[in-house]
Structure 1
Amino acid sequence: MKNLFIILTALIFITSCELLFDPEPELPPVTEEGNGTFGCKINGEVWLPDDRYLNSGGNILEAFLNRGIDMHIKALYEPKSQSLEFTLRDIFNQDKSIQFYQQETEKSFASVSMEDNCNLKTDSNSGYLEILKIDSINKIVAGTFEFIVFSDCDTVEVTEGRFDLNYYE
């Protein structure tokens, strides 16, 4: 009877320990249905939007069409005050593969903000975003991306990026 009690106690302890730890985050699958997903790897670690501590009531993930031509996509990871943003110029007249350039130009660019107020931006030909689907009827935009962003404070490599969003105008 004593052995049974020890075994049951050990099983309860092991099971409860598994519940205390968050599972390793995984990137969402690449889809094209407006599923509201976004993810990438930043310097090899999975990065997903997260609003656990968001106090502003804002969106952690959004895509909107500015002036009917420029697409702006933003994802927020609030626990560390990080964000990824894309500005895609003249989205409906672009090739499916969009090269990123410097923010100061009239071309498409990407930027990353880190928790230490380090704001990083793409430079000329430092990455791309591939549009898999843009549907102006159902307001869906989906794609994949990779880029490197630079600043005086850091260099960040963003890989295996994907998003599948509904956008608004």
Structure 2
Amino acid sequence: MKRKPTMLIAYCLLFLTFIGCKKDDDGDMSQNPIDQLPPLTQTGENTFGCLLDGKPFLPGNGGNPLDCVYQFVNGGYYFALQANREIDLNLIRLGCNTQNLEINQDGVYVLKENISGNASGKYFFETHLNYTSNTHTGELTITKLDFDNHIVSGTFWYDVEDHNGIVHEIREGRFDMLFSQ
């Protein structure tokens, strides 16, 4: 029994359709992690983002996801920026702060030990708060500091060792915040 050419063509087209289909299992995960962070802005957009161990970290899924203050208290300046995210019922908090250290626009600050006169980076997980140190450091750059509009913007990166001895890499950090005084 001979098959008609139209049936053969139909089988060929069906075969080509199946082998030409590609399942996209990656979804958004194939996107560059840096592209998932908020853009670098300096207009007080209240944005924060970074890569935590190579994965995008954005605030959310919990109370008070973002906070930023810059105050003069007891004769010294204190800057505190933090972002919170709940992941698998665990609160993760990342941020940068200064103790008795004035920040300035275009200033670059080494993130190190959390003591008076220094800037530091922080990593909170579960019930443990860890800071950068003189061994595990980083850098905070203030790209805009506008006291009239209460805007502070900048970039950061740092390494911090947690209570289990694991060093976490915080990279490509950026923020554009309204701060309270």
Query: Do Structure 1 and Structure 2 share a fold, with TM-score over 0.5?
Result: yes
Tell me the amino acid that sits aligned with residue 130 of structure 2.
L
Instruction: Select 2:80's aligned residue among 72, 77, 80.
Output: 72
Q: Is the 8 A contact 2:98 2:117 kept in 1?
A: no
String of CA shifts for 1:23-80, please: whole Å, max 9, x gaps.
55710011100001000001100000013xx3xxx42101112326211111100233
- If you compute each CA radius of gyration, which structure gives the higher value, 1 or 2? 2
Tell me the amino acid that sits aligned with residue 60 of structure 1.
P
Taking structure 1 as the reference length, what is the TM-score of the superposition? 0.75
Pick closer, same or farther for the CA change 1:76–1:95 going to 2, 3 Å.
same
Tell me the amino acid that sits aligned with residue 172 of structure 2.
E
SS at match of 1:137: coil
SS at match of 1:78: strand
Tell me the amino acid that sits aligned with residue 38 of structure 2.
P
Provide the aligned length of Structure 1 versus Structure 2.
144
Q: Is the 8 A contact 2:48 2:59 kept in 1?
A: yes
User: What residue number does 2:60 align with?
Assistant: 50
Higher relative contact order (CA 8 A, sep 6+): 1
Tell me the amino acid that sits aligned with residue 168 of structure 1.
S
Gaps of 5+ in 2: 1-26
Percent sequence identity over matched residues?
Answer: 30
User: What residue number does 1:83 align with?
Assistant: 93
Residues in 2 aligned to 1:84 and 1:130: alpha-carbon distance in whole angstroms: 16
SS at match of 2:56: strand
Gaps of 5+ in 1: 1-21
